[in-house]
């Protein structure tokens, strides 16, 4: 066998009369009046291929193993299909069984399963309709991300997974250490409390963001981006948070906040359009089964100009809206999802980019405005979920950056190399961050972020 075999997505468009061999996993099988009908899928597309086995064409002692979940191949002839939703089907004359599946214990049955149950069998859920579609969308989205940046002359930079710097200043980081050892009783033993005895000779962590590192490359290559895993040790059991997720982070030298907003808007519109072009059957499934009017929402985002307003303007609109908020709004407070959705869905009716947030609720590296109260930050808000992208122009003034680090009580010595970027050839630069899984949630309509990543990691959950 060779990987260059014909996939089901191609067989479904082949002409009647063509000889064919179809490989895949049995979704369902039913028998009627001596004829067996098998729905076969190999993951290459949303649709199944119907395989028709007439009585006697395949020995019954062999055919009986073609049960739900079994890995098989059928050889025969493509014929016109009388059924709805398919133009051709495979009339099989021979079959090969590669792997049997006990129909009694196989977890994925035709009756369907809850999302919660599917997370418990994450090693098998990709064979189902929903997660198969999620995975194809995720694949297309990843390719679209790279194409977007590569076509604009950006260089992909691989930033460290292990770091000694806390990009966000929040401290919610996973420690990396060789000082903990398994004890005979099943617990742990700490061999030393001195960080100097550890592997790196200092405290080290899994990265929460590649931004600080990618800024160094922007100061030599101009336009760069990261796309890789990041980690947050936040004990947050919500449908929107993961402990391990993927981040997209472009950074541009000789660029200000306006340029940053322009890139973000182009990015959202182009990537979503690419997914709509390449995954139409999958998105139609989500539109019908997961999120009504999903396609209408995505089309509206792609074809609408993004509204731009300051944080202060947004707060004034919210305060004077007449709405009763679960989380009260006042200048200086961070906006919540209910506020962001009201702005995009009710007030403006399209995506909104908010700028110039209070410096107290933003990270230390954001460029300070002349008012001394706000920073050159921006968030891209979209209907249905609220914040999709967060970014800023970075502080390129050494003295201001040092003062901000000291003001927040951060260890300035830990950022010596980051401060060097302001000592030697500093330039205006800007960038943003986008959680990849948040993007997949948005384009699929899926309600829980744990259902758009192959193997989710959250508090108390690290199976598979």
**374-382: average pLDDT:** 97
Pick 129-167+211-451's CATH classification: 3.65.10.10, 1.10.10.10, 3.30.930.10, 3.20.20.70. Answer: 3.30.930.10
Query: Of the candidates 105, 152, 111, which has an alpha carbon nearest to the alpha carbon of residue 128?
Result: 111
Query: Residue 169 — very low, low, confident or very high, per pLDDT cuts 50/70/90?
Result: low
Q: Is 443 exposed, middle or buried (0-12, 13-18, 19+ CB in 10 A)?
A: buried
Residue 343 · residue 317 · CB < 8 Å = yes
Q: Is the pLDDT of residue 170 over 60?
A: no
- Phi-psi bin for 171: left (phi > 0), alpha (psi -120 to 50), beta? left
Supply the pLDDT for residue 423: 97
pLDDT tier at 333, thresholds 50, 70, 90: very high
**84: pLDDT confidence band, cut at 50, 70 and 90?**
confident
207-236 pLDDT tens trace: 999 999 999 999 999 999 999 999 999 888
Q: With a cut of 90, say whether residue 380 has pLDDT above it.
A: yes
pLDDT value of position 237: 80
Task: Delimit the domains of the chain by residue range.
Answer: 8-99, 129-167+211-451, 174-207
Would you state the torsion angle of the CA atoms of residues 282, 283, 286, 289, taken in this order, to the nearest 10 degrees?
-80
Going by pLDDT thresholds of 50, 70 and 90, the confidence category of residue 167 is low
What is the per-residue DSSP string for 30-65? EEETTEEEEEEE-SSSSSPEEEEE-TTTS-HHHHTT
* Residue from 429, 448, 428 nearest 438 by CA: 448
Predicted local confidence at residue 411, as pLDDT: 87
Q: What is the pLDDT of residue 2?
A: 85
Record the tokens describing residue 1, joined without a space: 């066998």
Instruction: Look at residue 186 in the predicted model and tell me its pLDDT.
Output: 79
* Structure token digits, residue 54: 């007439």
Average pLDDT over residues 316-335: 95
The reported pLDDT for the residue numbered 96 is 97
Query: What pLDDT shows up at residue 171?
Result: 55
The CATH code of domain 8-99 reads: 2.40.50.140
Percent of the chain with pLDDT over 70: 99
pLDDT at 25 over 60: yes
pLDDT confidence tier of residue 264, bands split at 50, 70 and 90: very high
Rounded to an integer, the average pLDDT of 81-85 is 84
CA–centroid distance for 436 within its chain: 3
* Average pLDDT of the residues in 58-78: 96
Query: Residue range 36-44: average pLDDT?
Result: 96
pLDDT in tens, 96-134: 999 999 989 999 987 778 999 999 999 999 999 999 999
Taking CA atoms, 99 is separated from 73, 187, 208, 329, in Å, by: 10, 40, 41, 59
Answer whether residue 351 shows pLDDT above 70: yes
Q: Specify the pLDDT at position 109.
A: 83
pLDDT the model gives residue 164? 84
Is residue 8 scored above 90 in pLDDT? yes
244-258 pLDDT, tens digit per residue, is: 999 999 999 999 999
- What mean pLDDT is reported for the chain? 94
- The CA angle 244-430-392, to the nearest 5 degrees, is 65
Give the pLDDT score at 334.
Answer: 94
**What is the per-residue pLDDT for 126?**
96
What is the pLDDT at residue 235? Answer: 84
Is residue 16's pLDDT more than 70?
A: yes
């Amino acid at each position: 066998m060779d990987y260059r075999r014909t996939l089901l997505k191609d067989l479904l468009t082949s002409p009647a009369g063509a000889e064919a061999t179809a490989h895949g996993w049995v979704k369902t099988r039913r028998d009627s009046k001596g004829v067996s009908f098998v729905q076969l899928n190999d993951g290459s597309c949303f649709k199944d291929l119907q395989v028709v086995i007439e009585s006697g064409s395949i020995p019954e002692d062999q055919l009986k193993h073609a049960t739900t979940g079994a890995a098989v191949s059928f050889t025969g002839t493509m014929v016109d299909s009388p059924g709805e939703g398919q133009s051709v089907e495979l009339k099989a004359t021979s079959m090969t069984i590669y792997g049997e599946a006990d129909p009694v214990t196989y977890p994925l049955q035709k009756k369907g399963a809850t999302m919660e149950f599917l997370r418990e069998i994450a090693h098998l859920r990709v064979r189902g309709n929903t997660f198969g579609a999620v995975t194809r969308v995720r694949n297309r989205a990843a390719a679209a991300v790279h194409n977007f940046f590569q076509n604009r002359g950006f260089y992909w930079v691989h930033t460290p997974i292990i770091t000694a710097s806390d990009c966000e200043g929040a401290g919610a980081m996973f420690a990396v250490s060789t000082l903990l050892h398994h004890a005979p009783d099943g617990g742990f033993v700490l061999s030393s409390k001195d960080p100097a005895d550890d592997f790196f000779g200092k405290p080290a962590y899994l990265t929460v963001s590649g931004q600080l590192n990618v800024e160094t490359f922007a100061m030599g290559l101009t336009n760069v981006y990261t796309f890789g895993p990041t980690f947050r040790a936040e004990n947050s059991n919500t449908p929107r948070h993961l402990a391990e997720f993927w981040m997209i982070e472009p950074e541009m030298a000789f660029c200000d906040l306006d340029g940053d907003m322009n890139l973000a808007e182009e990015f959202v519109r182009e990537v979503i359009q690419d997914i709509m072009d390449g995954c139409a059957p999958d998105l139609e499934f989500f539109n019908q089964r997961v999120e009504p009017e999903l396609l209408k929402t995505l089309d509206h985002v792609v074809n609408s100009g993004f509204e731009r307003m300051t944080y202060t303007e947004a707060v004034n609109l919210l305060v004077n809206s007449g709405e009763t908020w679960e989380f009260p709004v006042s200048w200086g407070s961070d906006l919540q999802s209910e506020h962001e959705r009201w702005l995009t869905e009710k007030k403006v009716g399209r995506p909104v980019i908010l700028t110039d947030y209070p410096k107290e609720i933003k990270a230390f590296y954001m460029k300070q405005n002349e008012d001394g109260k706000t920073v050159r930050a921006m968030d891209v808000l979209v209907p249905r979920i609220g914040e999709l992208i967060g970014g800023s122009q970075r502080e390129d003034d050494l003295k201001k950056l040092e003062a901000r680090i000291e003001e927040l009580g951060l260890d300035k010595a830990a950022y010596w190399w980051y401060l060097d970027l302001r000592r030697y050839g500093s330039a205006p630069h800007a960038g943003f961050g986008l959680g990849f899984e948040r993007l997949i949630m948005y384009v699929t309509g899926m309600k829980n972020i744990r259902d758009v990543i192959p193997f989710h990691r959250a508090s108390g959950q690290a199976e598979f």
